[in-house]
Amino acid sequence: MSVLYLDHFQLKTDPFRITPDTEFFFSGGQRGDILEGLLVAAMHDEGIVAVVGEIGMGKTMLSRMLLERLKAYPADTVYLANPVFDRNEILDAIARDLMPDPPVGNRTKILAGLEQVLMQRYAEGRRVVVVIDEAHSMPGPTLEEIRLLSNLETAHSKLLKIILFGQPELDQLLNAPQLRQVKDRVSHRFLLQPLALTDGFTYLNFRLQKAGHNGALLFPSEVAKLLWRASEGRTRRLNMLAEKSMLAAYADGAETVSIEHAKRAVGDGETALQTGLSEPAPAGAQPRAAFVRQGLPSYVWALVGVALTLALLALVWVSPLQQRLLSALPNANSANSANSANSASSASSASSANGLAAQRPATSQAAAVTSAAAPVKPAPAPAPAPTAAPAPAPAPVITVPPTPVIAPVAPLAATSSIDARIAASEDLITATQGRGFTVQLLAIRAPAVERLVGILGAIDAASLGGAPVLVNNRAYNGVLHHAIYIGQFGSSDEAARFIGNLPDELRRQKPFIRSFAKILEEPRS
């Protein structure tokens, strides 16, 4: 969007772009409940998980959000966006993501190598999760291959967790007689429902606020209701209609979206490029002379300046904090290279045992899993309407252990000398007695005092709300490193939320959760 457009509505970015952006994830309409249920299922449950929803319900956004949240846990992920593979191709695709040099063309060797990698990850305390979007487009034999991969297991646990996202046609596919064994492995089925009216109102305001809007209400209740009804509660369609109506308002010089603008957006529908708009501007509005309603709609011409201006801004603007961090911090690919052998193992065991299940009450987990819900009525389309999905088995109830509580400690002084901070950090870590968790930001080869000072200065400038920044020396593969940790948390869930709230510049360093118990086991020299 152009700077003029954004300034007109007091926005920092486009609030209704349809490209999935996890910063705009809306937890209403049971989306948040389903996400939490998926996290628990991914880390603790057995079997295949299915997420079913009509076109435009937010399945891809949910899958991206799941992948984002799993970064904070001891989990490795494989994401297949369009799995129109035969059974050998999908095996190759998964192997390429998990194996550094997978065998080519030899199914037996690929399976053997994949099983070896999965056993290694399991021994390190890590879960491997395969997320498959558009799963309804998978051929039947490919789904059968997925079932066979789900058979890889130890004596106590599955080695591979598979989560399928698809349209209601996925239910039809799984109902085929030849795929009854696959259907039998589906332990949970989540159904994405359309947004209710109240959720639709909340959704519009939520997107605007995330985009920086804090002014007058842009969508009066009657306007929001019209857009919601026309969208049928589908988030993608609601985004498109909201953006069209705002562009129409902008072209008219109006500061809020009127019912006429909304009707224009709804009536324009998918034919905006074929029809012109000639309705008069509301009384009192000052039309923008730059946009002439001839040929294409006025808001189409607005988009031209929008795209060009954003492209220029993206090339030249960098935040002051980002400038400082870029000069001090190592890049994300190399920051934790020293930890790649040891830290993957040490980050996991306690986190896996205490973490995800503490995120929310078990009752809401069960509520998110549909038990006998039928798919929503599909929008008119050339394809025949899907048949009603069968009622899945009741979801198992997940017991939530209590969150451990550890005594708070005073943050370390940012002005302390490096030696003093290392000594104080060691005392703090020892005082935990192995209870609780922290977040490891990075580790650099020692000695590197000047570089360490610069990194700590950049971190201290990031305003982390008083979270202690710990520095101590740890030996990885016999080589001494300066390890930097941030915060002290009673559960891995708290640590995960902290990671999610870190500035983007720090999250690019790929921070991960560590237990103090594992840190205390590591050699100091």
Return d(Cα 351, Cα 159) in angstroms, integer: 18
Contacts of 505 (CB under 8 A, 6+ apart): 321, 322, 325, 326, 329, 462
C-beta separation of 463 from 469 below 8 A = no
Which of the four pLDDT bands, split at 50, 70 and 90, describes residue 370?
very low
Q: Are 86 and 139 in contact (CB under 8 A)?
A: yes
pLDDT mean over 11-31 = 93
Is the Cβ–Cβ distance between 120 and 128 less than 8 Å?
no
In angstroms, the CA 83 to CA 74 distance is 25
Say what the alpha-carbon torsion angle 370, 375, 377, 383 is, to the nearest 10 degrees.
160
Instruction: Please count the other Cβ atoms lying within 10 Å of the Cβ belonging to residue 248.
Output: 26
Residue 478: count of CB within 10 angstroms of its CB = 7
What percentage of the chain carries pLDDT values higher than 90? Answer: 36
pLDDT in tens, 223-253: 999 999 999 999 999 999 999 999 999 999 9
Residue whose C-alpha is closest to residue 81's, from 99, 96, 61 = 61
- End-to-end CA, the chain: 54
pLDDT digits (tens, 9 = 90+) for 50-83: 999 999 999 999 999 999 999 999 999 999 987 7
- Residue 43 DSSP code: H
The neighbour count for residue 477, using CB atoms within 10 Å, is: 10
507 or 415, greater pLDDT: 507
Do 129 and 76 contact (CB within 8 A), yes or no? yes
pLDDT value at position 416?
Answer: 54
Bridge partners of 158, per DSSP, are: 153
Q: What is the pLDDT of residues 166-201, one digit of tens each?
A: 999 999 999 999 999 999 999 999 999 999 999 999
Q: What domains appear along the chain, each with residue ranges and CATH number?
A: 3-11+195-316 (no CATH), 30-192+361-368 (3.40.50.300), 402-521 (3.30.70.1070)
Name the residue among 40, 66, 64, 30 with its Cα closest to residue 191: 30
479 is written with which tokens?
Answer: 């080589």
Q: What is the pLDDT of residue 385?
A: 46
The pTM (predicted TM-score) of the whole model is 0.53
pLDDT digits (tens, 9 = 90+) for 298-352: 444 445 454 444 444 443 344 444 454 445 555 443 334 444 334 433 333 333 3
- Above 70 in pLDDT, residue 522? yes
Kindly state the percentage of the chain with pLDDT values over 70: 70
Q: Which of 113-127, 143-157, 240-254, 316-330 has the lowest mean pLDDT?
A: 316-330
Q: What is the mean pLDDT of residues 403-423?
A: 58
pLDDT higher than 80, residue 135: yes
